[in-house]
Structure 1
Amino acid sequence: MLSVVIPILNEADTIADVVRFARRNPLVDEVLVIDDGSTDESASLALAAGAQVFTSSMLGKGVSMHDGLMLARNDYVAFLDGDLRGLDETLLDQLYAPLQDGADFVKARFGRSGGRVTELTAKPLLKAFFPELSSFQQPLGGIVAGRRDFLLGLDIEDGYGVDIGLLIDTHLAGARIVEVNVGQIEHDPQPLANLARMATEVSRVIFDRAEQAGRYDIATLRAAAEEERQLSAEIEQLAARVRLSSKLALFDMDGTLLEGRFALELARATGREAALLRHLDQPQADAATRSSAIAAVFKGVPQSEFIRVAKTMPLRSGAAQTLIELKKRGYTVGVVSDSYFIAAEVVRRRVFAHFGLGHIMQFEQRQATGQLRINPFFQASHGCQLHPVCKRNVLSHLENIAGQRFEQVLVVGDGDNDLCLLRAAHSGFAIGERSPALRAAAKAHLSDLPALLDLC
């Protein structure tokens, strides 16, 4: 039998039809829809159509695919996109048949040319570094199937690079890949901003795999990729990437969305706790000096360890559900942290926020240099009059990007470093017991994050 996994994000127009299509096939005994924090009715429509619906463990198509693999009961798993139209009734049979004949991975090709990222990015790079894969017509296509045990053994990319990563990794593993023609298929077009991010991710994955295969010295490319990652934290990049609504919700990360403090957990994981504790919560040091001293503690820590800790730290109960509901109510939702952007970006994806902001730890050769760059969002001559580096300044920059003051700003935090931002909000909420001053200034003290929804 066959499990069908469908990652979705705001696919209300099509998801019910895709679920019903999958359930009609007698080979299929479970349809698993993994919701990436949709703010429309996608999840409820999928459930009504007969799917089992789960919330992804973190924002990103690749994460949703991995979640589906973990949940699937069958030995064979097929993946469909949630925005498909015009599906041939034999599509799943065509994906399943090669698996029965011993294939490890089956990739669909369909009757249209590849999209812009496929033609301008993926195919030229495959031809350069993996010419043996250049014959695949839709290397970025998301309609695939494979043996569950084999796929779980691969390092599945989190985001837009997942499909090209699966193709290359399967090839490098020496597995048998079969391409099948499944006829005409219609997809919803992607916005241009999404295509730019997709091209960046696809390029990174291909270069990364080329280096692993000994086909390319990627040191220079890694430096360029690190520069691109750092630029994504800048004001201009966020302005181009995020469309701000008239309502804004800003959440602290440590102790608010996360149970605990990221820097402390990273220090514990890397044997640096004693060194870190000498710098934490030093009232005599200004924020920039203290942050720089803490950053130096982590010199030499691999970038992958920053990401691993940010992915595995427990979230406060109801964090993701609360932020998704705020998005449904029309809020632009952000994570604002005095910690590191690399962690804030992971956490914002775990809770499905629109953006994450933090200071920029510098990396070389995928290891922390111990040098910190203060995020310009936290500095503004027209913002906080008490502190040169302050979360309050983030709000000033966001108002400049929006071109006007927000109709509603709510802030949730747990520490003294949230106080200036909280006072500037229309509605400020404290959570946790760290800061009596914050609790005194807040509109209310939250017992948990879902309680916020009854107060705003």
Structure 2
Amino acid sequence: MKSKYGHRVSVKRQKSNRIYLPREANACATVVIPALNEAKRIREVVAYALADPATAEVIVVDDSSIDNTAILAQQAGAQVLTSSMLGKGASMRDGAAAAAHDLVVYLDGDLRNLRPGIVTSLCLPLLNESADFVKARFGRGGGRVTELTAKPMLKVFFPELAYLSQPLGGIIAARKCLLQTLSFEDGYGVDAGLLLDAHLAGAHLAEVDIGSLEHDSQPLQDLSLMANEVSRVIFNRAKLAGRLHVEQVIAMYESQRQVAASIDYVLTLRKGRRSLVLLDMDGTITPSRFALELARNTGNETALMQLLDTPHDDAITRSERIAELFRFVHKQQFEQVARTMEIRPGVIEFVKQARRAGFMVGIVSDSYFVAADIIRRRIFADFALAHTLTFEGSVCNGQLQINPAFLPDESDAVTSICKSNVLRCFLTDKTLPPVELIWAVGDNLNDLEMLRLADNAFVIDPKLPKLLEEPGITLITEFNDLVELLVYEASESMES
């Protein structure tokens, strides 16, 4: 295969010695574990790798640890090497060079609670000749650097790789002959660099689901350095591939802004909280509707009212037509309207009290994220989930993107776009501990399904009598009613 950098990459398939998994005596891979001060878990990770039938040997490349990482790894049955220089990239390169087998699988040294057979799963696409480079997919989404830096940048500069769930994950399988042609970055950008180099060299990529994954989280200062390193590597590869242009950089920042509206990113913010408050925006937090206020501000009120009076349109069609009204409106106008809209009395105090009581508080809105996120910050909530408008050069192009969190599961042929689907995302989140208590507050029919699913449901200034006819939905006259309820439940909990 020929690289886009101009060199050729030779990937031997070894057809005469093909091995199919699973079967007895099928050890075919070298497992490489770069490790720095991983004494806490390295023994378990080595034992896990050796228990997999696809593992022929385990090499732990010690990055000059000051704890007992090397000793414990050797006692667990691994071959231990000392890295040629500090940095994960050098350790990965040294491990590949020392591998005795053509298939190399990389694992991290701090992993725990892995399902059995991951080494086998990663090797299968290589053995079946459907891939030369395999990335592990785990969990619902990636960490903060993955969601806010790597994915938006890949979406703009390498859109053909946007499908990858974990572009920065260090659990990788590849052919040794391919790895020896790639560049191993010294810092946090090594995994992104290997992925992009393999792709640009023409290697066939695959992604394998390995279930849930647990490992130690990075300190905040390390995340900042990681984001910088990942950005540098992707910019560098985009430049080498002739894909780095000013317009793309602007688009990248817009894509990064939109990531904050994704359910995958929001779920990373939960951080063990078991209780959740979901607030509708238009008519609930704010007495008026954002689209109406923006239409008045931009001279589109008459056109908006005509669109609102089209009962035969489905929700998505109506939303898309309304979005087209705001084509050519500058983002500053969206933001200015959101900054000046009236907030109901008591909302801010309720949000603060709820967060103090351990609730995660978020806005769930059929409106636009550019507005919902400003309202979120005005009331001090944790997150906002809404639909996104696309801006080109800070000017709205009229294109609306429905937030996937509002869409039903693929197996659900009945439910349409609905806020209740956002609630289900939290209930099905596999991150422990699970969500156990949900409060929801709304005002209109489009909030009804969300209110029905919530443990405690409330309406304020209801727009239809049907909301009051629903069992389990409580009418409140102001948000101070909810503040009093929080205080009461907190006192009851203390007494019990």
Scaled by the length of structure 1, the TM-score of the pair is 0.52
1:409 to 408, 425, 438: 438
- Tell me the equivalent position of 1:438: 467
Residues 251 and 282 (structure 1), Cα distance of their counterparts in 2 relative to 1, 3 Å cut:
farther
| Structure 1 residue 354 displacement after superposition | 0.7
- Tell me the equivalent position of 2:478: 448
Mapping 1:114-193, distance limit 5 Å: 192=220
* Offset from partner CA, 1:92-135 (integer Å, 9 cap, x none): xxxxxxxxxxxxxxxxxxxxxxxxxxxxxxxxxxxxxxxxxxxx
| Structure 1 residue 454 displacement after superposition | 2.9
CA–CA separation in structure 2 for the residues paired with 1:444 and 1:421: 14
CA–CA separation in structure 1 for the residues paired with 2:302 and 2:365: 23
**Conservation of the 8 A alpha-carbon contact between 1:384 and 1:420:** no
SS in 1 for 2:287: coil
SS in 2 for 1:300: coil
- Tell me the equivalent position of 2:455: 426
Residues 218 and 259 (structure 1), Cα distance of their counterparts in 2 relative to 1, 3 Å cut:
farther
CA–CA separation in structure 2 for the residues paired with 1:408 and 1:375: 24
CA–CA separation in structure 1 for the residues paired with 2:334 and 2:252: 19
SS in 1 for 2:468: helix
| Structure 1 residue 234 displacement after superposition | 1.8
Residues 376 and 197 (structure 1), Cα distance of their counterparts in 2 relative to 1, 3 Å cut:
farther
Residue 380 in structure 1 maps to residue 413 in structure 2: no
Equivalent pairs counted in the alignment come to 255
| Structure 1 residue 396 displacement after superposition | 1.1
Residues 225 and 423 (structure 1), Cα distance of their counterparts in 2 relative to 1, 3 Å cut:
same
Mapping 1:33-432, distance limit 5 Å: 192=220, 196=224, 219-243=247-271, 245-280=273-308, 282-381=310-409, 386-403=414-431, 406-432=435-461
Runs of 4+ in 1 over 6 A off after TM superposition: 197-200, 382-385
CA–CA separation in structure 2 for the residues paired with 1:251 and 1:226: 26
| Structure 1 residue 253 displacement after superposition | 0.3
Residues 371 and 246 (structure 1), Cα distance of their counterparts in 2 relative to 1, 3 Å cut:
same
Residues 383 and 361 (structure 1), Cα distance of their counterparts in 2 relative to 1, 3 Å cut:
farther
CA–CA separation in structure 2 for the residues paired with 1:241 and 1:194: 18
* Offset from partner CA, 1:2-60 (integer Å, 9 cap, x none): xxxxxxxxxxxxxxxxxxxxxxxxxxxxxxxxxxxxxxxxxxxxxxxxxxxxxxxxxxx
2:359 partner amino acid: Y
**Conservation of the 8 A alpha-carbon contact between 2:351 and 2:380:** yes
1:303 partner amino acid: K
| Structure 1 residue 348 displacement after superposition | 0.7
2:443 partner amino acid: D
SS in 2 for 1:411: strand
Percent identity between the two aligned chains = 40
1:432 partner amino acid: D
SS in 1 for 2:429: helix
Residues 455 and 378 (structure 1), Cα distance of their counterparts in 2 relative to 1, 3 Å cut:
same
Output the aligned Cα RMSD: 3.0
SS in 1 for 2:308: coil
| Structure 1 residue 193 displacement after superposition | 8.5
CA–CA separation in structure 2 for the residues paired with 1:193 and 1:419: 43
CA–CA separation in structure 2 for the residues paired with 1:284 and 1:343: 27
* Offset from partner CA, 1:164-195 (integer Å, 9 cap, x none): xxxxxxxxxxxxxxxxxxxxxxxxxx952896
| Structure 1 residue 400 displacement after superposition | 2.7
CA–CA separation in structure 1 for the residues paired with 2:349 and 2:222: 24
2:479 partner amino acid: L
SS in 1 for 2:345: coil
**Conservation of the 8 A alpha-carbon contact between 1:384 and 1:392:** no
Residues 233 and 381 (structure 1), Cα distance of their counterparts in 2 relative to 1, 3 Å cut:
same
- Tell me the equivalent position of 2:46: none
1:349 partner amino acid: R
* Offset from partner CA, 1:194-243 (integer Å, 9 cap, x none): 9649979xx9xxxxxxxxxxxxx954432111011112212222233442
Residues 240 and 247 (structure 1), Cα distance of their counterparts in 2 relative to 1, 3 Å cut:
closer
**Conservation of the 8 A alpha-carbon contact between 1:244 and 1:402:** no
| Structure 1 residue 384 displacement after superposition | 7.3
Residues 270 and 320 (structure 1), Cα distance of their counterparts in 2 relative to 1, 3 Å cut:
same
- Tell me the equivalent position of 1:38: none
